[in-house]
């Protein structure tokens, strides 16, 4: 059985990705930061589908913990799947930003980039020794690396940098045939974003999007699962936007 590690797999896009991959027969190691109950609920949902899953706690802002986390992943792989490595990594976990440049403090700047950029970099570095040759890493970016909205400066800059790192990792790990790609969702109707709780902002986004609606977590989860299938075997070092045609 192939195995995927998905950060932030207890809700939203991460949860949807975990469920779609589990339906495809892939074992799941999902992470949560706060809310162990939500993580275990996804595990139980996967088990109800006949799949195999484990939830582990991970604070993506604490890079010093990544070596220990990689050790726990190795233990879980051995105990649950009787193997020493895994196949796929989805760097999905992150934090949002809704503040103007004028209101952005150094503390907020550092926190956003620590979780959204430094975290995926050093976590991927820590986990790649456990990944099979020919594996696949997907970084969840954002349409905001292309489209500019007020109040998202640091978040957008971090995602643009993550897309650059995507190409760098693809280049440096090409000798192991490890592919690295970025998926850039548009406005998604989750608690993370998409004008949640702001009907006026939601209408503006819908009007700004060619398909006339916000995306759903399943729009992204299903796409990521498809990329990790055999059909995506020759895609490498790319940014793929899945936004319904926002700001075209």
Domains, the chain, in order of start with CATH, read 3-242 (3.40.50.720)
Question: Could you read off the pLDDT of 135-161 as tens digits, one per residue?
Answer: 999 999 999 999 999 999 999 999 999
Whole-angstrom distance, CA of residue 36 vs CA of residue 209:
35
89: exposed, middle or buried (C-beta count within 10 Å: 0-12, 13-18, 19+)?
buried
CA atoms within 13 A on the CB side of 244: 20
pLDDT in tens, the chain (248 residues): 999 999 999 999 999 999 999 999 999 999 999 989 999 999 999 999 999 999 999 999 999 999 999 999 999 999 999 999 999 999 999 999 999 999 999 999 999 999 999 999 999 999 999 999 999 999 999 999 999 999 999 999 999 999 999 999 999 999 999 999 999 999 999 876 655 567 888 999 999 999 999 999 999 999 999 999 999 999 999 999 999 999 99
Give the dihedral sign, CA 126/131/136/140.
Answer: negative
Residues identified as active-site: 155
For residue 28, give the 3-state DSSP assignment.
Answer: strand
Q: Note if the pTM is more than 0.85.
A: yes
Q: What is the pLDDT of residue 198?
A: 78
Q: Are strands 131-140 and 179-185 parallel, antiparallel or unpaired?
A: parallel
Whole-angstrom distance between the N-terminal and C-terminal Cα of the chain?
Answer: 41
Q: Where are the alpha helices (DSSP H) in 173-216?
A: 199-208
């Amino acid at each position: 059985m192939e195995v995927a590690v998905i950060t932030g797999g207890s809700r939203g896009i991460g949860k949807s990705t975990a469920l779609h991959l589990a339906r495809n027969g892939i074992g799941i190691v999902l992470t949560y930061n706060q809310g162990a109950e939500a993580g275990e609920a996804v595990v139980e949902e996967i088990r109800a589908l006949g799949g195999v899953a484990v939830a582990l706690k991970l604070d993506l802002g604490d890079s010093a913990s990544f070596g220990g986390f990689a050790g726990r992943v190795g233990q879980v792989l051995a105990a649950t799947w009787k193997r020493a490595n895994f196949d796929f990594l989805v760097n999905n976990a992150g934090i949002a930003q809704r503040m103007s440049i004028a209101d952005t403090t150094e503390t907020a700047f550092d926190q956003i980039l620590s979780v959204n950029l430094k975290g995926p970099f050093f976590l991927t570095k820590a986990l790649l020794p456990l990944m099979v040759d020919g594996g696949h890493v997907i970084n969840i970016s954002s349409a905001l690396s292309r489209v500019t909205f007020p109040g998202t400066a640091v978040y957008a800059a971090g995602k643009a940098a993550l897309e650059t790192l995507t190409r760098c990792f693809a280049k440096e790990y090409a000798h192991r045939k490890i592919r690295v790609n970025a998926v850039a969702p548009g406005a998604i109707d989750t608690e993370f974003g998409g004008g949640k709780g702001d009907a006026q902002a939601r209408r503006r986004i819908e009007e700004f999007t060619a398909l006339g609606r916000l995306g759903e977590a399943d729009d992204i989860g299903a796409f990521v699962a498809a990329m990790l299938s055999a059909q995506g075997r020759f895609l490498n070092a790319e940014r793929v936007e899945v936004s319904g045609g926002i700001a075209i």
